[in-house]
Amino acid sequence: MAEKLFGKAMKRVEDPRFITGTGTYTDDMTLPGMAEAAMVRSPYAHARIKKIDASKALAHPGVLAVITGQEMKEAGINSIPTGWLHPGIKTPPHYPITFDKARHVGDIVAAVVAENRQIAEDAAQMVEVEYEPLPAVSLGSEALKPGAPAVHDDIPDNICFTWSIGDKEAVDKAFASAHKTVKLKLRNNRLVPNAMEPRASLAQYHKASDEYTLWTTSQNPHIHRLLIAAFIMGIPEHKLRVIAPDVGGGFGSKIYQYPEEIIVLYAAKKLGRPVKWTARRSESFVTDSHGRDHETVAEMAVDQNGKITAVRVETIANMGAYLTTFAPAVPTYLYGCLLAGPYTTPHIYCHVTAPFTHTTPVDAYRGAGRPEATYLLERLADVMAHELDMDPVEFRRKNLIPPEAFPYQTPVALQYDSGNYEAALDKALEMVGYQKLRQEQAEWRKQGRYMGIGVATYIEACGLAPSALVGSLGAQAGQWESALVRVMPTGKVEVFTGTHSHGQGHETAFAQVVADELQIPVEDVSIVHGDTGRMPYGWGSYGSRSAPTGLSAIVLATRKIVDKAKRIAAHLLEAAPEDIVHEDGKFMVKGVPDKAKTFFEIALQAHLAHNYPADLEPGLEATHFYDPKNFVYPFGTHIAVVEVDPETGRVKLLRYLSVDDCGPVINPLIAEGQVHGGIAQGLGQALLEEAVYDAEGQILSGNFLEYAIPRADDLVQIEHDHTVTPCPHNPLGIKGIGEAGTIASTAAVANAVMDALRPFGIVHLDMPYTPQKVWQAIHSARKLGQAAD
């Protein structure tokens, strides 16, 4: 019997190409005759475009074309649609190149195509654009004020949509009769995704067949093909092939349909030459859809026993200048529906107002909505515990949904399928040595040292998603996933998945599972993804859906292969199909191990069909489209330990520990790696990162000199363990793990810093906790303290 690979920490099969520099990212590609594009971008957040004079640029040697928005509109190129609609939502047009007004810094005003990128960039600076600068607004709450500059002329109040969930009356009643309530004003800082690979697109037009090929940095090539074909360019869908080759990180930012992809496709046809565009990092900062940016008032009510009776949330969620692909779903269904968290809160109400502003669009980023929900719940929990003079862990324990309560219906639409939250909490507390740590903290404080311990218990809903459910909530997309398993005559196997790996290790983890299911060597399995020309329609990777949804489809397809193989074996072995067992890598007659056929023998016969069942089709391949019955619900507990230096305001991470439950773990190496990265992002948001805009809509942290993403010496080695609570409704019981780290860690680090600052009487600060902010808070608190003395 071959070794079972599920659960094995296998080294990744994709790594040899990456560690030797032989991966193929979009910008690595060069095609014969390729031209390159550079964008002319608005330096203003809001300006009327009065005139564009491209004559100097066009006269520059090597320039092939200067493309304007007017030209593309006249050529029939449409606006880029959003993929999620709420009742009453305003969906103003988002043309690939704007022609009337620029609505955020970086909005594309023209595109220059030239013999190479250097020439295109030189010429882009020669395009003379006459702007009439207009007043701009960058903060969501400012955009809602009467008289604020309108981002879109026909939406004078800037309101894209409002949304609510929960029973407001019941919540208000619970607050009115509460034993205690707490209220926090929270700003969830805006983040810039910053996948290490900048976005890039390369388009080729094949004149003879009127077909296009687009290589692009995408998490979901089929979505691009559908949007471009059906909505934006009117290319027949079968005439457009979208390929996402090696992609250097996505984190949500490479889900969306961006203007540049349309521009290179248009230019490739116009010029009859392949056209490539690659973002500079400074372009990424102003054009990759951002994350978070909430202004929230969050309240919690408890009874005299410390049980949460209600949570009330009012959020302003900044949409930026345009709606990108999933934007409307993020501060709503991925946020408001998560506000029960792991707790038994009976009454929850959340109201969201989503304004347009003159900033880069905001959409799903690493955790998408769920980190925001977890952050506010966990901040409320800590503040409430302090109000009640309870240990924050005990407050949480009292309110966790008990294991016997599943399936658990929350008051905000979701039905949690399974969970054992206290088990994860206990494990984390034991690992960190919680009681001892609290004693140590008390000792430190006597010495004037400020240790903070931050706990976050979390759940997430991921594995997007039951199609009919998301459809009823406004998704303009299905959320099932596809798999095609193709067995070759030699018994080697290609598996085509509609999900996309841009760092998640699908080529390894998926192959492990396929090898187990088919009982063949893992070396005989290739996982293929990212090419609309090769695999059935699929919805791509985001929302931690690849394993629970994509791999479930693969497993069910491999089981079809096994069923068919049994029928072929039965014929060859002259037995009844129900008497054939699949064991030790062979198909054998039950109880007669000598009467057996190997996978190879069956694969070969399936292709020869010389000695074959009369009622069976030749060939050995199977497709499965898997539509999940529910989301999956990973959970866990994270604990951060920090020290704050009151003299400098510097926060130092001392320890970080996570216990996560993603069900059975396919490859611990990969799963833990996903958690580590997510934790770094959470720490980044809590301590370092913020897209800062000035009142005129200029981004003040628009490159890596000004926007700090975590570096190696900002982190520590992470202590990690897991519990295993299988998902009851998919074939392997697996749940997603891609976003868990980020969802919990922002809150854990924030709580740790606030815990350290408690002795100063500081209840809440908004992230990021930069030394300056922390020092100022301590300084003001000390002054206040002195005044009181």
Partner 1 sequence: MAEKVRIKLTVNGVVHGSEVEPRLLLVHYLREHLGLTGTHVGCDTSQCGACTVHVDGQAVKSCTMFAVQADGASVTTIEGLGSPGHLHPVQEGFWEMHGLQCGFCTPGMIMAAADLLNKNPNPSEAEIRHALEGNLCRCTGYHNIIRAVQYAAGKMAQRSAADD
Rounded to the nearest whole angstrom, what is the least distance from the CB of residue 689 to partner 1 in the complex?
11
3-class DSSP string for 84-123:
ECCCCCCCCCCCCCCCCEECCCCCEEEEEEECCHHHHHHH
Q: Which stretch binds partner 1 (CB under 8 A): 132-140, 156-164, 499-507, 608-616?
A: 499-507
80 binds partner 1 (CB under 8 A): no
198 binds partner 1 (CB under 8 A): yes
SS3 665: coil
259, amino acid identity: P
Answer yes or no: are the C-beta atoms of 40 and 129 closer than 8 Å: yes
Distance CA 230, CA 471 (A): 19
691 binds partner 1 (CB under 8 A): no
- Our CB check for partner 1 shows the closer of 195 and 348 to be 195
Q: Which of 390, 715, 762, 765 binds partner 1 (CB under 8 A)?
A: 715
Place of tokens 């991925």: 334
Half-sphere exposure of 594 (CA within 13 A, CB side): 0
For the chain, first and last CA: distance in Å?
Answer: 76
Q: Which stretch binds partner 1 (CB under 8 A): 37-45, 375-383, 710-718, 724-732?
A: 710-718
Rounded to the nearest whole angstrom, what is the least distance from the CB of residue 707 to partner 1 in the complex?
10
Instruction: Please provide the size of the chain in residues.
Output: 789
User: Parallel, antiparallel, or unpaired: how do β-strands 240-243 and 211-216 relate?
Assistant: parallel
Answer yes or no: are the C-beta atoms of 62 and 115 closer than 8 Å: yes
**Which residues from 371-400 bind partner 1, rule CB under 8 A?**
none
718 binds partner 1 (CB under 8 A): yes
Interface with partner 1: number of residues (CB under 8 A): 60
- Indicate the Cα dihedral angle 113, 115, 118, 123, nearest 10°: -50
Distance CA 706, CA 180 (A): 42
Answer yes or no: are the C-beta atoms of 743 and 371 closer than 8 Å: yes
Q: Which stretch binds partner 1 (CB under 8 A): 152-160, 307-315, 339-347, 501-509?
A: 501-509
**Which residues from 263-292 bind partner 1, rule CB under 8 A?**
278, 280-282
246 binds partner 1 (CB under 8 A): yes
DSSP-derived secondary structure letter, 343? B
Task: Give the bridge partners for 644, in sequence order.
Answer: 450, 651
Distance CA 382, CA 399 (A): 13
195 binds partner 1 (CB under 8 A): yes
Rounded to the nearest whole angstrom, what is the least distance from the CB of residue 198 to partner 1 in the complex?
7
Tokens in use for 408?
């658990």
245 binds partner 1 (CB under 8 A): no
673 binds partner 1 (CB under 8 A): yes
251 binds partner 1 (CB under 8 A): yes
Spell 421-454 as b/e; 16+ CB within 10 A means b. Answer: bbbbbbbbbebbebeebeeebeeeeeeeebbbbb
Q: Which stretch binds partner 1 (CB under 8 A): 143-151, 193-201, 338-346, 729-737?
A: 193-201
Rounded to the nearest whole angstrom, what is the least distance from the CB of residue 291 to partner 1 in the complex?
13
64 binds partner 1 (CB under 8 A): no
Q: Which of 42, 681, 725, 751 binds partner 1 (CB under 8 A)?
A: 681
Q: Which stretch binds partner 1 (CB under 8 A): 148-156, 369-377, 455-463, 698-706?
A: 698-706
Rounded to the nearest whole angstrom, what is the least distance from the CB of residue 715 to partner 1 in the complex?
5
DSSP string, 79-90: PPPPSB--TT--
Binding mask 6-25 vs partner 1 (x if CB under 8 A, - otherwise)?
A: -----xx-xxxxxxxxxxxx
689 binds partner 1 (CB under 8 A): no
Place of tokens 């014929």: 571
Question: What does the binding site for partner 1 look like in residue numbers (CB under 8 A)?
Answer: 11-12, 14-25, 27-28, 30, 61, 116, 118, 194-198, 246-249, 251, 278, 280-282, 502-505, 669-670, 673-674, 676-681, 703-705, 709-713, 715, 717-718, 741
